[in-house]
Amino acid sequence: MQNIARGFLVGVGVLLGASGASALEARFDRPTYKAQGQVRLDNCEQFGSACGQPAADHYCRLQGYERAVSFETVRASPTRVIFGQQCNGPGCVAFKRIACFMSAQQRGRVRDWPQIIDD
């Protein structure tokens, strides 16, 4: 019985090892708008809409990853949304950190930021 269990575990280990599946994760602390300057990235894609997960996912895709697996926010001012509008004041919320995921072994191409809608 012990040999059967050992054989099963070895077989499972071989199957898992043979898949060669690997993933990439990256964490971005205090992300800024277009990765330049001191203006923090707002937690919304557009001013007041698509906040949280949609904006974090969009940021990860801009960085060459598939999606965000986690994020944290913090009040900060000023911030800029992905589409460029700036938020000033106590109601602004920035990403504190974003963790991005890619199922492939290397990340995809870094993408251009969207054109500013309203500046």
Q: Where are the domains of the chain?
A: 22-102
66-102 pLDDT tens trace: 999 999 999 999 999 988 889 999 999 999 999 999 8
The fraction of the chain above a pLDDT of 90, given in percent, is 50
Number of C-beta neighbours around residue 70 at 10 A: 13
Question: What is the average pLDDT across 38-60?
Answer: 93
Q: Would you state the pLDDT for residue 65? A: 93
What distances in angstroms separate CA 118 from CA 17, 46, 65, 110, one per listed residue? 51, 10, 27, 24
The secondary element (H helix, E strand) that includes residue 117 is none
The dihedral through the CA atoms of 107, 83, 85, 56 has a sign that is negative
Q: pTM (2 decimals)?
A: 0.73
